[in-house]
Amino acid sequence: MITILFFSLWIDYLFTERELTRIGFTTWEGNKSMLKIGKKLGFIEEARIRKSCFINGVFYDRIKMGILRDELELKKKHSS
């Protein structure tokens, strides 16, 4: 819960203090916690680079997640 709150505040800060239209991150498909946090915050999967991450002898997909300023504002409006 603290992690989601931290990321939420960080995203708000970035959109408020910078002229950004998009924020994104990249992780790998085995990082279920980060994918769950991203989805809870409104990020969507924008790209999947198949079998591009080699961990413990196994290839995994890299996943790029992103959110647009407009999407975040709309999400906030609907949750108020």
pLDDT of res. 3: 86
Domains and CATH numbers, the chain: 2-79 (3.40.630.30)
In three-state secondary structure terms, 64 is strand
Q: Read off the pLDDT of residues 18-76 as tens digits, 9 standing for 90 and up.
A: 999 999 999 999 999 999 999 999 999 999 999 999 999 999 999 999 999 999 999 88
Cα 39 to Cα 5, 58, 67, 76: the distances in Å are 14, 25, 10, 14
pLDDT of res. 48: 98
pTM of the complete model: 0.87
Assess whether pLDDT exceeds 70 at residue 1: no
pLDDT of res. 52: 96
Burial (0-12, 13-18, 19+ Cβ within 10 Å), 66? middle
